[in-house]
């Protein structure tokens, strides 16, 4: 019987995950079907249970259900426990459901392997304090950066997040108007770009050596990346690679096979530019 996998979210019709996983399955010669499932906002738990009662073996979870998936999982990986959010569910042989978070691993893979951006020993600025940022901090701190600064429109949220991760490395929260020096790497973990907005960053945070990463992506450069480009950033990178790489980590967890993410990223980039 063909194994079933899916991504659950609301909305979901924009999801590129089915295309990504179909390419992974084809290259790895895996017998599976991966679909996108629109789940009512009040119906997440029954949807997951029904899926796993059938031929379902694994799920990706996207907005707005990552925190609910964290609560639903009967076991958690250390990185999911730390993130307090889950984007990958795995049906175990004993019927239990393992929750994992592959977002941070995907972002680190994209930066280090695909973009050749060094994290170790570097000063990193992270914008945002929501679930997306919470999911990346442990994998980033495992790379042993010199220091991470978190900024957010609500300072208290940034402070709570920094306090949650301070045992893992050098990390602090700052207000936007406290930023004066340039950073080696800047990560935009907010969805501001989708609304055409910019976080209130001083221009001084970007220098000619700075790599700037926006977790969002679109056919054209996001407003945040245009801003960084105009300031002379060394590299500007959108979040498509993170999407593919976090999917690759999920696929490897489910199937025990590491897919060729580079070729799939190239394919997805062509699809995006052809939209």
Q: How far apart are CA 246 and CA 248, in angstroms?
A: 5
Q: What is the pLDDT of residue 21?
A: 98
* CA count, 13 A, side-chain hemisphere, 166: 9
Distance of alpha carbon 92 from alpha carbon 58, whole angstroms: 9
Catalytic residue, chosen from 41, 53, 57, 66, is: 66
| Structure confidence by residue, pLDDT tens digits, 5-54 | 999 999 999 899 999 999 999 999 999 999 999 999 999 999 999 999 98
State pLDDT tens for residues 242-257: 999 999 999 999 999 9
d(CA 87, CA 95): 19
> What are the structural domains of the chain?
3-101+241-273 (3.40.50.10860), 104-238 (3.40.50.720)
- Assess whether 66 carries a catalytic annotation: yes
**CA angle (38, 44, 46) in 5-degree steps:** 110
Residue 275: which pLDDT band, with cuts at 50, 70 and 90? low
Q: Please work out, in degrees rounded to the nearest 5, the angle formed at the alpha carbon of residue 21 by the alpha carbons of 18 and 22.
A: 80
Q: What are phi and psi of 15, to 5 degrees?
A: -65, 135
Give pLDDT tens digits for 93-129.
999 999 999 999 999 999 999 999 999 999 999 999 9
């Amino acid at each position: 019987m063909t194994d079933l996998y899916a991504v659950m979210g609301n909305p979901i019709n924009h999801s590129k995950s089915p295309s990504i996983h179909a390419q992974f399955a084809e290259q790895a010669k895996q017998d599976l079907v991966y679909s996108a499932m629109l789940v009512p906002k009040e119906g997440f738990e029954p949807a997951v249970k029904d899926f796993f009662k059938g031929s379902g073996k694994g799920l990706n979870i996207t907005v707005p259900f990552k925190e609910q998936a964290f609560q639903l999982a009967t076991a958690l990986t250390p990185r999911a426990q730390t993130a307090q959010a889950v984007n990958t569910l795995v049906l175990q042989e004993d019927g239990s459901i393992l929750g994992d978070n592959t977002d941070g691993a995907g972002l680190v893979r994209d930066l280090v392997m695909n973009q050749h951006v060094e994290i170790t020993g570097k000063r990193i600025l992270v914008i945002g304090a929501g679930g997306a940022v919470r999911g990346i901090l442990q994998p980033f701190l495992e790379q042993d950066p010199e220091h991470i600064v978190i900024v957010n429109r609500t300072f208290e949220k940034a402070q709570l997040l920094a306090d949650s991760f301070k045992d893992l490395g050098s990390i602090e929260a700052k207000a936007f108007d406290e930023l004066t020096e340039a950073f080696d790497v800047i990560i935009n973990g907010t969805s501001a770009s989708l609304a055409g907005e910019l976080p209130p960053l001083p221009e001084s945070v970007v220098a000619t050596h700075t790599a700037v990463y926006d977790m969002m992506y679109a056919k054209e450069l996001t407003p945040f990346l245009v801003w960084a480009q105009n300031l002379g950033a060394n590299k500007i990178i959108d979040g498509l690679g993170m999407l593919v790489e976090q999917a690759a980590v999920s696929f490897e967890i489910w199937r025990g096979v590491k897919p060729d993410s580079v070729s799939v990223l190239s394919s997805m980039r062509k699809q995006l530019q052809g939209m």
